[in-house]
Structure formats: C-alpha cells, structure tokens
Amino acid sequence: MTKLNINETPHRRYNPLTGEWILVSPHRTKRPWKGKSEQENIQDKLQYDPNCYLCPANIRANGIKNPDYKNTFVFKNDFAALLPDSGQDEFNHKNLLKAQGVEGTSRVICFSPRHDLTLAEMSTEEIKMVISLWINQTRELGQKYKWIQIFENKGAIMGCSNPHPHGQIWTGSELPNEAKKEMKNQGEYFEKNKTQLLIDYAKIEQNEKKRIVAENSEWMVVVPFWATWPYETLLLPKKQVARLSDLTKNQINELSNILKIFLVKYDNLFSISFPYTMGWHQAPFQKENSEYWTLHAHFYPPLLRSATVKKFMVGYEMLAEAQRDITAEQAADTLKQLSEIHYKLNRNRENK
Ligand code: H2U
Ligand code: ZN
C-alpha cells in the first residue's frame, strides 16, 4: 500500500466543524498556467462620495437620510431578507414538501464614515470600534434571536454592492445549515472529550506551526487543515470563549491587533484590496450551556493566482465535493511571509 503524502499525492481532508470532506490535488500545482496577470487600477478613492448610500448625511435608496456619523453606524436593511413578524408556521406535505416560517431582522453596519477605507487600512483603534459594534449588536439581538450572523462581503467580485466599508447582520429564529452542522460537531466532540474541538485544534496548530499565518497572546489565524478556498483562513481564540459578547478587554485589544495584521497581509498578497466573505460563528442563543462552542471567524476569499483569477466552485465541486490544488500548508506559508505594512504605504514611501 502506498503511504499517504499530503504534500504530493491526491487525498481528501476532513473538516471536523462541518463533517464534510474536501479533495486536495497538490500534484496539479505543477501544471502550466497561461492566465493573465493584471495590474490594479491605482486610482485613489474619494473619502466622501456624494452618491454613496452609506456615506454620512447622504440619502439612502428609500429616502431616509443617514446621520452625520463619526465612527460606526447601524441601520435596519432597507431591503431586509428577514422580517420580525413573518410568523413561524410549518408546512409539510407527505414529509417531502416541507417549509417553515422564519422570523428575523437584517441590519447594515458601517465600519467608518470614510468611503475610501477598509478594515485593513483602518487603525487598530478604529477596528476596535467595529468590534464594539459587533459586541453590542450581539448582546441586543441575542435577547430575541437564536442565530446572529455577522458578516462582511468585501469586493465587487463577491457581489458587494458598495466599496464603502460595511458589513451586515442577519438574525433568525431558526438555526441555518452551517450553524447546525457546527453545533452538532462541536457538541458531540465536547460530550466525548470534555474539551472544545477548536481549542484542541488550535493546540495542534501551535505545536505543528505549519499553517499559522499570524498569532498573538489571545488569537491565531490559520489556513485550516481542511481549507476549501485557496487562501481561506480561520481566526481562533487561544482560550475558550463562546460569543463576541463574552470577550475580555485583552481579547478585544488583541483581536483588533491581529485583524489589522492579517488583513494587511491579505491586501499585500496581490497588492489589491483583497476580496472575501467573512463572518463570525458564535454560540447560538439557546438556553443550554454553550461551553462546547468556540467563537471563531471564517474568511473565504475567492482569488487564486492574481487580482482577477478567481477560483470557481463548479463542476466536481457542485456535483461531488470541494477541491483545491495548493495545499493549506503552501497557502499559509505564502501568507505568513507577506509584509505587515500595507502595500499602499510602501508605495507612498517609494514615491517620496
Ligand atoms: P452588500 O454588503 O452585499 O453590499 O449589501 C449591502 C446591503 O445594503 C444590501 O443588503 C442594503 C442592501 O439591501 N441597502 C440598504 O439597506 N439601503 C440602501 O439605500 C441601499 C442598500
Ligand atoms: Zn460612502
């Protein structure tokens, strides 16, 4: 029998959070590539855009005027995907046609009044205000809803409608699919081992040091062993914490530091404002103990080889299972080597 070499031979890796497998084909990275490599449009963005619906004091699509906010700003999504009073009735026809009403709310969260910034270019103090916003929203919405999904779609390639730095919060009375999978797997692991799945995983990463992109006293960012997207990362606490609303002062400080560092690295990878979808997974707000759940954030960037070469989840991925070529270890190594100084600052220095 051939011995498995995860750096060379095709294999599948297991994602213990979702219970799903992914196909890794490291030998394919040797194949010739004739893709284009583009230069980013270096045009500087406006600090204030009179046509932006998120800039302070501007009018939104439905005629409401934004306040002249100075730090962060939250408002109910004018085109909310979930509504608070839609009812939770169930429909079931022969156990084949099933539906259920879901109640919830959708909010838009602006990270900064500055139209031209992103989290990567904001200061750690400014990032801390975004963290406070995430925490306060979690506290408030957790009183009413089971699942609080905080996320950010960044970049036009991810379907983001506006470059103004912003994210969203969708909450619901039912647990969505990803939440259910993570709840089941973390719950079963805790029952069996009396320790948390992701805290044990963080210890393995700490020992192996093969997939860590950045770390400090409270957090680490890894390309998870089971990553699907080429430069996917997982942001993990080193000590158990179930929700954003339970973070200590030190965890908050260090969170703003690590976000700054690794988001700058992301931008530096292809010298562009790096597109991704990111989101927090925190323990559902249910009555039971939430000790089994470790707070974490997923970052899913779509890019593969350059500013414009995107990985598509099609063909085998849609019909069978996710697949990647570069290994998690190679991706982590590339990200780790990148500078912690934003490429735009370097460019400004060079121009002086
Ligand atoms: P993205 O993060 O994917 O760009 O979505 C922005 C959200 O902003 C989107 O869900 C909302 C859209 O419904 N929006 C408003 O609430 N008011 C507006 O005036 C325009 C967009
Ligand atoms: Zn704006």
Q: Is residue 337 part of a domain?
A: yes
Q: Ligand 1 pocket test: which of 60, 62, 108 has the largest number of ligand atoms within 8 Å of its C-beta?
A: 108
Residue type (1 letter), 220: M
% of the chain beyond a pLDDT of 70: 93
Domain around 259: 44-351
Q: What is the DSSP letter of 119?
A: G
Is residue 163, in this structure, part of any structural domain at all?
Answer: yes
Closest CA to 161 of 309, 8, 80, 53: 53
What is the spatial distance between Cα 36 and Cα 307, in angstroms, rounded to a whole number?
10
Q: How many domains does the chain have?
A: 1
- Give the residue carrying structure tokens 């109640």: 103
pLDDT at 90 over 50: yes
pLDDT tens figures, 236-249: 999 999 999 999 99
Using the atom order of ligand 1, give the atom closest to the CA of residue 166. 2
**What CATH number is attached to the domain comprising 334?**
3.30.428.10
pTM of the predicted model, to two decimals? 0.95
- Beginning with the edge strand found earlier in the chain, give each strand of the sheet holding 233-237 in spatial order: 73-76, 104-110, 166-172, 147-154, 276-281, 296-300, 233-237, 219-222, 212-215
27: confidence class by pLDDT, cuts 50, 70, 90: confident
* Residue of 286 and 151 predicted with greater confidence: 151
Give residue 226 CA to ligand 2 midpoint distance, Å: 36
Domain assignment present for residue 263? The answer is: yes
> From the CB of 63, is ligand 1 less than 6 Å away?
no
* pLDDT tens string 37-77: 445 555 567 999 999 999 999 999 889 999 999 999 999 99
Q: Whole-angstrom Cα distance, residue 321 to residue 22?
A: 6
What pLDDT shows up at residue 350?
64
> Taking the CA atoms of the chain, what radius of gyration do you get in angstroms?
21
- Give pLDDT tens digits for 137-153: 999 999 999 999 999 99
Higher local confidence (pLDDT), 27 or 336? 336
108: nearest Cα among 173, 53, 174:
53
pLDDT of residue 37: 44
* C-beta of 61 in contact with ligand 1 (< 6 A): yes
Provide the 3-class DSSP secondary structure of residue 86. Answer: coil
How far separated are the first and last CA of the chain, in Å rounded?
A: 61
Residue 3 domain flag: no
* Average pLDDT over all residues of the chain: 93
